[in-house]
Amino acid sequence: MIILSRSEIEALIDLDSGLSALEAAYIAASDGRAVMPPVGYLAFADKDGDCHIKYGHIAGDPTFVVKIAAGFYGNPAIGLPTSNGVMLAFSAQTGVLEAILLDEGFLTDLRTGLGGAIATRALCRPDARRVAIVGAGIQARWQVRCLQQAMPETQLSFSVWARSEDKARETVSVLHSEGIDVTVSTDLERLCRDAEIIITTTPSREPLIRDVWIQPGTHITAIGADAPGKQELETALVVRADRRICDSLEQSLDHGEFSTAFRAREISAENCIELGAVLAGKGAGRVRPGEITIADLTGVAVQDIAIANSVLNADRRFRTV
């Protein structure tokens, strides 16, 4: 059995391979080639934390994956990381546990960043340059890193806003140290009005982004609403959008960014399409430059399967050298 620590996993990661693997996984999910049972969810309201259990199998894969990931958002105040977790890979032929990936939440953070980059690249205007990042946690950093990797020929301009200006400045400092040009914004409304791409990365339980702030042609990738009660976008904005794309229609309408509008019967399932269908060319993403597009990413098990298999494949290649 293979047991890999976080540092070993980080050494094996290749972002380009991850982007390709996740794109294929989204397509497999929408094509009906993936088994993804309902997400297991535990809430710890008194600690501002939650835990997700996601698991599944893609037809033809030699392994199936079970992922446990926790996010406790007050942890930085006591010197601990927000994310933690582990991934378990089992043989799809025998059920034998073949690998334990002690990633401490790293792979969940990474695959979320890669998923956001894939959706943004597929749905933003070709001439989009100005990127607003809402939130300043670990995921904000991964969204910047992964989008830059996904769109290397585009001169993207990033700006970060957070409730805490100090945290925004810390995130900008970290990204600067990696050679990425990012600025701090202190005015969320102005940031959103000027942006061509908006990526939201917060655990907010009340809308942060207002409908009247958003200009025609803007693309929004909403990452934060991955559990009941979370919402980053004003419902009127979701209703107004010309195109609504999600990673999982079932999850998005149940507890994602689209769920509030769906429950109010202001949108329907027929008004939404899965990202995998867009990537496979079986459904429309952005059709016209002036459209407002929203991608609601709740996180799906195929992402975990894809990123775990990417690590294990890289480890196998390393061991045979």
Q: Enumerate the active-site residues.
A: 67
Q: With the C-alpha atoms ordered 173, 175, 180, 186, is the resulting torsion angle positive or negative?
A: negative
DSSP, res 311: H
CB-based contact 184:160 (threshold 8 Å) = yes
CB-based contact 132:144 (threshold 8 Å) = no
Pairing of strands 293-296, 243-246: parallel
Burial of 200 (0-12, 13-18, 19+ CB in 10 A): buried
Burial of 8 (0-12, 13-18, 19+ CB in 10 A): middle
